Amino acid sequence: MADHNELGKKGEEQACAFLEENGYTILEKNWHASYLEVDIIALKDNILVFAEVKTRTSSFFGEPEAFVTKQKQKNLLAAADKYVRLHHRNEEIRFDILSVLVRNNQCHVNHIPDAFKSSWR
């Protein structure tokens, strides 16, 4: 596996652990529907959270969360819509970003709840 894939996997593991430590129940990891993907789908306090994880080894070019593009946001919205319909979910929806910086085998997770808004639902 390529180094960037390993880094991404490590970041997602750290993000899941962070969410679980903070009372979230992980429902799905790397959920796919055709070309759409959601890194983490979690539930807390009757809120269904669709989370994008961005992992980097440096913030030299910007914080990891800065790389969640408008297109990625649109894809997350489409994936959330598909997931909710397929699984008949009716909770409130929220879109979070988990920004993970990995340096010297140390991980720092920055959780950004409600990172972007949607007029959907």
Contact indicator for 98, 111 with CB cutoff of 8 Å: yes
**Which residue type is seen at 102?**
V
Tokens at residue 81, please? 């819509």
pLDDT attached to residue 117: 74
From CA 81, how far away is CA 77, in angstroms rounded? 6
Query: What per-residue confidence (pLDDT) applies to 83?
Result: 97
Q: Which domains does the chain carry?
A: 3-112 (3.40.1350.10)
pLDDT tens string 45-88: 999 999 999 887 766 566 657 667 888 999 999 999 999 999 99
Q: How far apart are CA 14 and CA 69, in angstroms?
A: 22
- Note whether 38 and 76 are within 8 A (CB): yes
Task: Render pLDDT for 91-116 as a digit per residue (tens, 0 to 9).
Answer: 999 999 999 988 887 889 999 999 98
Q: Which residue has the tokens 């919205």?
A: 77
